[in-house]
Structure 1
Amino acid sequence: MRPLPLALFAAALTLPFVSIAPAQAATLPAVQFVKIYYNSPGSPDNGANSSLNGEWAQLRNTTRKAINLKGWTLRDKTAAPDHVYTFDAFTLGAGKTVTVRTGKGRNTSTTRYWGRSGGTFAYIWNQASDTGYVRNPSGKLIDSCSYNNSRAASVNCL
């Protein structure tokens, strides 16, 4: 093997150094929609509490730390005042999920209840198309999930 001429070697040393960074993984939101179940089981949708609780949205903490969700909101596209769920004192553990059901029930560490009642107008999620939004207490959009399918009952948001 022949040695490189000294001039070629010197030129190679003076070229600008180019660093190629590895592809960055998409940054996940701290709280992310997992699923929206927008068409509660059974027919017809009569507004009974069991039917209202058959529709729900599920959120996941994608971080390695617990997140205090007090003041965070979950809403649909309508954004009418009664279509906004505001978390009270609630901490979502690292990597954990919480399901927010439309009807009434007793809040637990894994399930929260919107508290809606009042018949067929109490449903939150439209059965044909809608968008869910989760915002932090300052109103910053953290994640959203949309669907447009009247033949399905739910949408996986991941």
Structure 2
Amino acid sequence: MHIRTTAPLALAAATALAGSLLVTAPASAATHRGGLHLGKIQYDSPGKDTRTNTSLNAEWVDIHNNSKSKLQLKGYKLKDNTGYTYTFPSYTIGAGKTVKVHTGKGRNASGHVYWNRGSYVWNNTGDKARLIKPNGKLQDSCSWTKSGTGTKNCH
């Protein structure tokens, strides 16, 4: 008799839990519908890692502004697990636009900024990219654990 009453209670609890997960999943997904977030990361430069500027610039992070207005990124930081940090200079990203942060050297232009490093930032075997607001609070993060295609879609 005890088994019969436990099974319906367990089923009811599981159903309630599943229902709450369904309710919370869209809310957490909605956090990236509006605002600034990490989009896609090319953490493994295609081909051999030769440390040429071309190879370094083939390692990048997309930051997307999914809001309805332009945003000033001055003071925002992009960091990895090691602590390598790119700090945005004065840069305005338009509504619905993306800026690509390249690891290597180059001249900042619309949609592209350069970290101006002579070595790679993102580890192919696992790392975590963090987008940090000027006030030090975490805006977004994206991590990977192993090399697959060398590209990670964050959201």
TM-score (norm 2): 0.79
Structure 2 match to 1:99: 100
Runs of 4+ in 1 over 3 A off after TM superposition: none
Contact 1:30 1:142 in 2 (8 A): no
Structure 2 match to 1:63: 67
Q: Which runs of 5+ in 2 are unaligned?
A: 1-22
Cα RMSD after superposing both structures: 1.3
Structure 2 match to 1:114: 115
> Which residue, 127, 132, 138 being the options, matches 2:129?
132
> Which residue, 147, 151, 154 being the options, matches 1:150?
147
Percent sequence identity is 46
Alpha-carbon deviation of 1:149? 2.1
Structure 2 match to 1:46: 50
Alpha-carbon deviation of 1:31? 1.1
Return the letter of the residue paired with 1:116.
R
Higher helix share: 2
Alpha-carbon deviation of 1:63? 0.8
Q: Which runs of 5+ in 1 are unaligned?
A: 1-22
Contact 1:128 1:150 in 2 (8 A): yes
TM-score (norm 1): 0.77
